[in-house]
A = this chain, B = another copy of it.
């Protein structure tokens, strides 16, 4: 019979497995990608810039700790987050990092120079204003992520297309841009470009996964 000290150590070793799984930048990035919707190995490798073998290795680790699940479709293996709480876990990990690691703030201050987040108006108010056509909600993620789920009334203009399309946007409406998460550069760059063109543009602080996890409506 296992002693209570051994039991506790074994149990905490299991908890530590989750910590280890999150202890690598690429695996965190994969989690962020999967938070937008399921992806296959090749897509994840391309998105992250890793080799396919290395991507598969990281996915095996995430799978073995139960953070992701896999589904075979033909010869493609699609990966999903196993549980929406993984989004909450990553969100609070980022939050803690933001508050405890000076380097996070230094990086953000240096690189993400478009400062003002959207004033934290209630999500319900944003939804109502969007419904009334008073603001443009702009999703700058790739189309397949938009298709997997997005904010109600959102339009999808991936950042790389923005330069060619912004002139079709009404200038008399505020634009609220959002992306994969709170540190997604695409939303920052979109807001910067739009402001350069005279638009009144802001960034939603969180991304689509956090919005969804908050129980807010999605399409």
Interface of A with B (CB < 8 Å)?
2, 4-5, 7-29, 49, 65-67, 82-83, 85-86, 88-90, 92-97, 99-104, 107-108, 110-111, 183, 185, 189
Instruction: Across the A-B interface, give the 5 residue pairs with the lowest CB-CB distance, nearest first.
Output: A66-B100, A19-B22, A20-B23, A19-B23, A12-B25
> Is there contact, CB below 8 Å, between A9 and B25?
yes
Can you list 17 residue pairs at the A/B interface with Cβ under 8 Å?
A: A2-B111, A11-B107, A14-B104, A15-B28, A17-B97, A18-B22, A18-B100, A19-B21, A19-B23, A20-B20, A22-B22, A23-B23, A65-B101, A82-B100, A88-B92, A89-B93, A89-B96
Do most interface residues of chain A lie in helix, strand or loop, or is the interface mixed?
helix
> Is there contact, CB below 8 Å, between B83 and A100?
yes
Please tell me which one of the listed residues B65, B95, B189 contacts residue A100 in the complex, with CB atoms under 8 A apart. Answer: B65
| Assembly stoichiometry (copies) | 2
> Is there contact, CB below 8 Å, between A92 and B89?
yes
- In chain B, what residue has the closest Cβ to A63? B100
Known contacts: A7-B111, A67-B100, A107-B11. The answer to whether A20 contacts B19 by CB under 8 A is yes
- In chain B, what residue has the closest Cβ to A88? B92
- In chain B, what residue has the closest Cβ to A91? B92
Known contacts: A83-B100, A100-B82. The answer to whether A185 contacts B14 by CB under 8 A is no
> Is there contact, CB below 8 Å, between A185 and B7?
yes
Please tell me which one of the listed residues B9, B27, B49, B183 contacts residue A11 in the complex, with CB atoms under 8 A apart. Answer: B183
Please tell me which one of the listed residues B7, B12, B83, B108 contacts residue A96 in the complex, with CB atoms under 8 A apart. Answer: B83
- CA A13 – CA B13 in complex, angstroms? 23
